[in-house]
Structure 1
């Protein structure tokens, strides 16, 4: 590909040739021919395409914001020997410079470099681009190698205790429907299968039917944690406060999901995700929150008014949020919590609403444990 400088040389050569021919001077014509030959030589210089095979690995493919991630390029030279190459590997909208060492014919080299993980999102990594230009900068050829991989940068989280919610819970442990033998409320009788707790055997029914029968128990008051994330830029004091809000929402939702409780995740007027709880759902929550971005719209307080009643309600917003707007929700939920991300000032206590002012993620765990007991 001819560069702007190359096109300029071609244009100047044409002007010189035409001017020299019109005025009868041979010197401009000689300069014009020299310019044309220089551009032609530059194009031939950049014409050969290096024969490289590139394979890329990204580890890990999913990472929390700010944690380490690396890319490994395995480069094999299938053509003639080459000195060190300077290439660029695409990372989203950026290009990361990569130095490839000398490659003899049929030789392979591996190059490792760190990936920036300061921003959330699904970020394509690759392809590797090799730019070859002539010494005068008249022609340039860019070639791409290797398939792209995708790095998912997810929110940071901190461990949080489960938010107490619901009116009746099993005293011996989890009250999730996916518990091996159910929980507290009788649901039905079923045949015994290997691994069932013998304490749940219903002996009268077993004697009457001649088949070992067990009681299947469920929890009729399984609490749901509804997490509402405010996406409006006006609610936050800059991008860092918004990122802190996303981290806080992820921490709350993941804590509930990992303990097998249902989670409803909402932002603006949309339901981002609705899960039944479990480790796989916790991963799905992190993947979904990796993609959220600031957007104008309704406030989190307005969204909270339309959330189905029951369980716990956690609203995550910025310093501009007024927790008093959540007072009408007290009668519809067992627990109501307002997390104000980026706020360093302690808000006054409100009856029935727990307000957490969180200046950074490190203080969230202690404040959550202290205020939600």
Structure 2
């Protein structure tokens, strides 16, 4: 009876099996591990969760306030107290006492709560390279008592702007304006705005977040393609095909009437002259679908300025097509670029990063026919290191009947035009010359 009761208690803990005579068996290591895991899940897991929650709530915030210098001072306090107590050194005890007073004074500086209402406002969250992004920070004292002077920090990308707040009475508002220079294409994270409490020696530093971060898109520079350049792009629309149709806009020829033809297309003058019913026959037309293939392989560009020029040229072509409500596809070695709206397109262009392991311009041209099978005009935007033989290979991948252009971007170069087989090669040295370069394409 005692054996069975002990077996019951053991089974409650580890569910250990027993022989027929009541003797316990030896657990297999796998079974022992499984039973141990069950015990850990039942008892250790909840306890570890509570410990982790306690650490996240109290210990980690406290440790986050300690600077590198503060950690050295606190460590020195501990060592000096232990040394003074162990060896009876009065000098060590005095130094420990002074260091302890410094730490206590630093703690007094960071205690207390600031009741602020902070509003971060960017006038525009999307600007072009060279334009200044203007914003403001409005701070309101939301408490019922005055607050002492303090400081606010505003991270702007890798930099940090510092704003000094004066002594503010209850409900008082303090506003600061700031300007963010934009010298290059990037997505800049602005914020969050944080208030900082620190002691004069910066042993301890306490931060409070007041706003959420905001993304500032610095779009690539683009140029307007109005006037003759826009006319050139419009000429690419409505290209006729070799497919014949009984109803379209491009007249082809006359033929005899066949039952089922639309009588509205009967050409009565020819019918009266020949004595037979003659109907108009048309060539099918297709709406121009522009495809812009932008190479992001940095090995094909002489320098970084050339790569930025290529992005700006591709964005200008795409922006003009979107402005005219034409079908558009923009592809790179990193994948397609969104073209639903000009904002989406420029946002994706801003995020583009160069890479030298994403395939060459030739690889991009070969994949273009699969990505955009219905393209009627193709622009290859490449760097100056792309050789004529590579451009010839890229042109060979373009289906017959599709007009193809290559824009070679080389900062400082003189604009020029050349032909490689059916491919028109345009050299672009400055973004402002893009309209003139396009005019040379039909010269």
TM category, shorter: 0.7 to 0.9
Look up the match of 1:77. 141
| Structure 1 counterpart of 2:366 | 305
CA contact (8 A) 1:90 1:126 kept: yes
Aligned to 1:340: 408
Q: Is residue 57–residue 149 contact of structure 1 (8 Å, CA) maintained in 2?
A: no
Deviation for aligned residue 1:248? 0.6
Specify the alignment match of 1:207 in structure 2: none
- CA drift of 1:220 comes to 3.6
Q: Please give the alpha-carbon distance, in whole angstroms, between the structure 2 residues aligned to 1:113 and 1:88.
A: 12
1:58 corresponding residue in structure 2: 122
Partner SS state of residue 283, structure 1 = helix
- Tell me which protein shows more helix as a share of its residues: 2
Alpha-carbon offset, residue 73 of structure 1: 1.1
State the 1:362 CA deviation. Answer: 1.8
Does the CA-based 8 Å contact 2:417-2:441 persist in structure 1?
Answer: no
SS of match in other structure, 1:117: coil
The answer to whether the 8 A contact 1:65-1:153 is kept is yes
**C-alpha contact 1:52 1:75 (8 A) present in aligned 2:** yes
> How far apart, CA to CA, are the structure 2 residues paired with 1:7 and 1:326?
61
Residue 17 and residue 330 in structure 1: after superposition, are their counterparts in 2 closer, same or farther (change >3 A)? closer
Map residues 21-60 of structure 1 onto 2, 5 A cutoff. Answer: 21-60=85-124
TM-score by length of 2: 0.66
Q: Is 1:246 paired with 2:307?
A: no
Whether the aligned pair in 2 keeps the contact of 1:354 and 1:372 (CA below 8 Å) is no
Q: CA deviation at 1:287?
A: 2.2
Structure-1 residue corresponding to 2:423:
353
Aligned to 2:345: 285
Distance in structure 2 (CA, Å) of the matches to 1:93 and 1:260: 39
Provide TM-score, normalisation by structure 1: 0.78
| Cα distance in 2 between the residues matched to 1:157 and 1:290 | 12
Aligned mates of 1:282, 1:22 — CA distance in 2 = 73
Matched residues in 1 for 2:442 and 2:417: separation? 16
Q: CA RMSD in A?
A: 3.0
> Which residue in 2 is equivalent to 1:365?
435
Give the conservation status (yes or no) of the 8 Å contact 1:53–1:146.
no
* CA displacement 1:298-323 (0-9 Å, x = unmatched): 11232113323541110111111124
Equivalent pair of 2:409/2:428 in contact (CA under 8 Å): yes
The residue that corresponds to 1:93 in the other structure is: 158
Structure label with greater radius of gyration: 2
Tell me the distance in 2 between the aligned counterparts of 1:232 and 1:315. 13
Distance apart, 1:84 and its partner CA = 4.8
2:168 is paired with a residue whose SS is: coil
8 Å CA contact 1:65, 1:117 repeated in 2: yes
| Count of aligned residue pairs for this structure pair | 328
Shift in Å, 1:221: 1.1
Task: State how far apart, in whole Å, the 2-side matches of 1:102 and 1:37 are.
Answer: 27
**Where in structure 1 are there 5+ consecutive unaligned residues?**
170-182, 187-201, 203-218
Q: In terms of mean alpha carbon deviation, does 250-259 or 56-65 score higher?
A: 56-65
* 4+ long deviations beyond 6 Å: none
Which residue matches 2:79? 15
Q: Which runs of 5+ in 2 are unaligned?
A: 1-64, 241-247, 252-263, 265-283
- CA deviations on 1:92-141 (whole Å, 9 max, x unpaired) are 33323334454333201221111233333443321112222111222111
SS for the counterpart of 2:418 is coil
Q: Do the aligned partners of residues 5 and 233 (structure 1) sit closer, same or farther apart at CA in structure 2, a change above 3 Å counting?
A: same
Shift of 1:329: 4.7
Secondary structure of the structure 1 residue equivalent to 2:341: helix
Aligned to 1:307, the other structure's residue is in SS state: helix
Give the secondary structure class of the aligned counterpart of 1:146: coil
Aligned 8 A contact 1:241 1:342 in 2: yes
Write the distance in 1 (CA, Å) between the matches of 2:193 and 2:204: 20
